[in-house]
């Protein structure tokens, strides 16, 4: 009632006579309501000063702590065709157990005796290498023999040259003697001729001296011819010496050329042997790859290639396996603005999908159904979803995680930060400020 009109109803009508009027207009109503408001205000003020744990929420999934404990798929490094399965989905296989058998699909490897034939080729090429080695040794011996023969022949030619030089010297001496005898004969002839003119010698004596002079002149000319012949023999010996040296050098060069050719063929054959040995090892290893084995102990989850006779390419996934022993962990993601607030060893609360929980994010001690964890790894590069990935391991000081949790199930995470009053958190949320930036005490201790 706004009481605008001058006609007042409460004057002419007694409102307290009505049941609703008694409940509303009675004075005790204001008294109880005021007490309620006062109590609510006091409780609200007390609550504002209660501690509140700042936190960062995120969603993630259950994974494993180590990369080798996570689910993996088994591939074949070679293409092939499925021939036989030895296991079924859900079986527990030990490391090295045979999972399936495959066969070749490439025509280069169809020959069942490929390994043995390659071994025979290696043996033949190895014998060829031995033959080339023997040929090289034989040519080495031939070169040594020719070098010895050349040395002897050169010594023989040098001896002939020395003999020819000595003969030249001997003929030179004989020529000087013949020249001396000719001069003596000439003087005797002149002297006899003078005496014959004076009448002291007979004509017969003059003729004898003239004959002797002619004989000495003939001997002198003959000795000159002998000296020229000796000089020619020296020249011939020098020519023979050069010829022998050149001839044997040519013969030795030819043998050395044959040796190098044989050695080159030996090296080439050795390279072929090495290639064949490499191919032999590859064929042996390829034969072992006809059986796909388990890389570690675990459970077969799903056969990705199921049919008999189905072909596949190299590197294509055939079956997935989950290790039987693993350490659980949770991967979660945080916004880039919250990344500076996260540190290694930070405490985190986790709520697993399928496990009932009552969560008070600001009061983790009051929450029910959550489990403790701590940050063990922080990704330094942003993920495809625009957030940074964190890896959480179980907190050893907290309650153990449920045994029935499986890898791949969802999880909600709450990273616990600094403790502040509730009024401060409300003020921060209303103003859109980030949580307090701080560093753990462990980081400060390490810095000191």
Of the residues 263, 288, 313, the one at which a domain ends: 288
Name the pTM for this structure. Answer: 0.57
pLDDT in tens, 337-377: 778 778 888 888 888 887 665 555 555 554 556 888 899 99
Residues 208, 147 share a domain: yes
Lowest-pLDDT choice from 7-21, 38-52, 306-320: 7-21
| Number of domains comprising the chain | 3
> Do 433 and 384 share a domain, yes or no?
yes
The band of 138, judged by pLDDT with boundaries at 50, 70 and 90, is: very high
The domain that holds 426 is classified in CATH as 2.40.30.170
**Pair (157, 306) in one structural domain:** no
- 353 close to 109: Cβ distance less than 8 angstroms: no
- Both 317 and 390 in one domain: the answer is no
Read off the pLDDT of residues 111-125 as tens digits, 9 standing for 90 and up. 888 888 899 999 998
What are the angstrom distances between the C-alpha of 98 and each of 87, 105, 331?
Answer: 8, 20, 33
Q: Do 271 and 392 belong together in one domain?
A: no
Whether residue 1 is contained in a domain is answered as no
Asked whether the predicted pLDDT for residue 310 surpasses 80, the reply is yes
Mean of pLDDT values over 144-151? 90
Q: What is the mean pLDDT of residues 263-278?
A: 91
Length, in residues, of the chain: 448
**Domain assignment present for 229:** yes
Question: Is residue 14 included in any domain, yes or no?
Answer: no
Does residue 13 form part of some domain? Answer: no
In this structure, the answer to whether residues 282 and 307 fall within a common structural domain is: no
How far CA 252 is from CA of 81, 256, 267, in Å, comes to 62, 6, 22
Do 144 and 249 sit in the same domain of this protein?
A: yes
3-state secondary structure the chain: CCCCCCCCHHHHCCHHHCHHHHHHHCHHHHHHHHHHHHHHHHHHHHHHCCEEEEEEEEEEEEEECCHHHCCEEEECCCCEEEEEECCCCCCEECCCCEEEEEECCCHHHCCCCHHHHHHHHHHHHHHHHHHHHHHHHHHHHHHHHHHHHHHHHHHHHHHHHHHHHHHHHHHHHHHHHHHHHHHHHHHHHHHHHHHHHHCCCCHHHHHHHHHHHHHHHHHHHHHHHHHHHHHHHHHHHHHHHHHHHHHHHHHHHHHHHHHHHHHHHHHHHHHHHHHHHHHHHHHHHHHHCCEEECCCCEEEEEECCCCCCCEECCCCEEEEEEECCCCEEEEEEECHHHHHHCCCCCEEEEEECCCCCECCCCCCCCCECCEEEEEEEECCCCCCCCCEEEEEEECCCCCCCCCCCCCCCEEEEEEEEEEEEHHHHHHHHHHCCCCCCCCCHHHHHHHC
pLDDT > 80? residue 313: yes
| The predicted structure's pLDDT at residue 33 | 73
Residue 391 lies in a domain: yes
pLDDT for residue 221: 87
* Domain span including residue 412: 49-69+326-447
pLDDT band per the 50, 70, 90 thresholds, residue 432: low
Measured CA to CA, the distance from residue 407 to residue 13 in angstroms comes to 77
Which of 241, 271, 288 is a domain's end point?
288
Residues 132 and 262 in one domain: yes
Residue-wise pLDDT for 317-344, tens only, equals 889 998 888 888 999 998 887 787 788 8
CATH code of 166's domain: 1.10.287.620
Asked whether the predicted pLDDT for residue 428 surpasses 90, the reply is: no
Together in a domain, 259 and 118 = yes
pLDDT at 95 > cutoff 60? yes
Residue 355 and residue 403: Cα distance in Å, rounded?
A: 12
Question: What is the predicted pLDDT for the residue at 435?
Answer: 64
Mean pLDDT of 266-285: 91
Asked if residue 130 is part of any domain, the answer here is: yes
Is residue 156 scored above 90 in pLDDT? no
Q: The tokens of 202 are what?
A: 């007979």
pLDDT category, 444, cuts 50, 70, 90?
very low
Of the three residues 266, 298, 323, the one that is the final residue of a domain is 323
Q: For residue 270, tell me if it sits in a domain.
A: yes
pLDDT band for 443, please (50, 70, 90 cuts). Answer: very low
CATH of the domain at 308: 2.40.50.100
pLDDT at 34 over 60: yes
pLDDT digits (tens, 9 = 90+) for 403-426: 878 888 888 888 776 667 778 777
pLDDT at 144: 92
pLDDT greater than 60 at residue 398? yes
Does residue 177 sit in the same domain as residue 237?
A: yes
Please indicate, yes or no, whether residues 317 and 330 belong to a single structural domain of this protein.
Answer: no
Provide the pLDDT for residue 24: 62
Are 333 and 390 members of one domain?
Answer: yes
Q: Is residue 153 part of a domain?
A: yes
pLDDT score recorded for residue 442: 52
């Amino acid at each position: 009632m706004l009481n605008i009109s001058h006609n007042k109803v409460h004057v002419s009508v007694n409102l307290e006579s009505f049941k609703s009027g008694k409940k509303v207009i009675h004075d005790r109503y204001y008294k109880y309501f005021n007490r309620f408001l006062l109590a609510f205000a006091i409780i609200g003020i007390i609550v504002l000063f209660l501690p509140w744990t700042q936190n960062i929420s995120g969603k993630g999934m259950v994974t494993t702590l180590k990369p080798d404990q996570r689910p993996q798929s088994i591939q074949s490094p070679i293409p092939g065709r499925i021939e036989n399965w030895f296991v079924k989905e859900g079986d527990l296989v030990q490391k090295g157990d045979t999972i399936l058998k495959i066969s070749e699909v490439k025509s280069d490897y169809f020959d069942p005796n490929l390994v043995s034939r390659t071994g025979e080729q290696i043996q033949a090429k190895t014998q060829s290498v031995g033959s080339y080695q023997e040929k090289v040794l034989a040519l080495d011996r031939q070169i040594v023999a020719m070098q010895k023969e050349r040395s002897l022949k050169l010594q023989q030619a040098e001896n002939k040259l020395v003999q020819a030089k000595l003969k030249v010297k001997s003929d030179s001496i004989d020529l000087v003697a013949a020249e001396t005898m000719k001069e003596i004969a000439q003087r005797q002839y002149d002297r006899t001729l003078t005496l014959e003119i004076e009448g002291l010698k007979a004509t017969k004596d003059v003729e004898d001296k003239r004959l002797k002079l002619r004989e000495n002149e003939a001997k002198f000319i003959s000795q000159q011819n002998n000296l020229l012949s000796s000089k020619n023999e020296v020249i011939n010996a020098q020519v023979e010496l050069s010829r022998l040296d050149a001839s044997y050098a040519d013969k030795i060069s030819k043998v050395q050329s044959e040796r190098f050719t044989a050695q080159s063929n030996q090296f080439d054959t050795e390279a072929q042997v090495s290639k064949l040995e490499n191919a032999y090892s590859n064929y042996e290893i390829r034969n072992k790859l006809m059986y796909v084995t388990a890389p570690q102990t675990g459970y077969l989850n799903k056969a990705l290639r199921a049919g008999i006779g189905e072909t596949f390419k190299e590197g294509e996934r055939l079956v997935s396996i989950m290790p039987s022993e693993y350490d659980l962990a949770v991967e979660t993601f945080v916004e880039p603005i919250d990344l500076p607030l996260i540190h290694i060893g930070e405490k985190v609360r986790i709520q697993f999908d399928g496990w009932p929980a009552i969560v008070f994010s600001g009061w983790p001690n009051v929450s029910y159904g959550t489990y403790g964890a701590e940050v063990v790894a922080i990704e330094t590069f942003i993920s495809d979803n625009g957030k940074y990935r964190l890896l959480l391991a179980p907190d050893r000081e907290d309650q153990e995680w449920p045994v029935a949790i499986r890898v791949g199930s969802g999880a909600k995470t709450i990273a616990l930060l600094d403790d502040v009053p509730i009024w401060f958190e409300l003020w921060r949320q209303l103003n859109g400020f980030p949580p307090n930036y701080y560093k753990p005490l462990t980081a400060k201790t390490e810095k000191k």
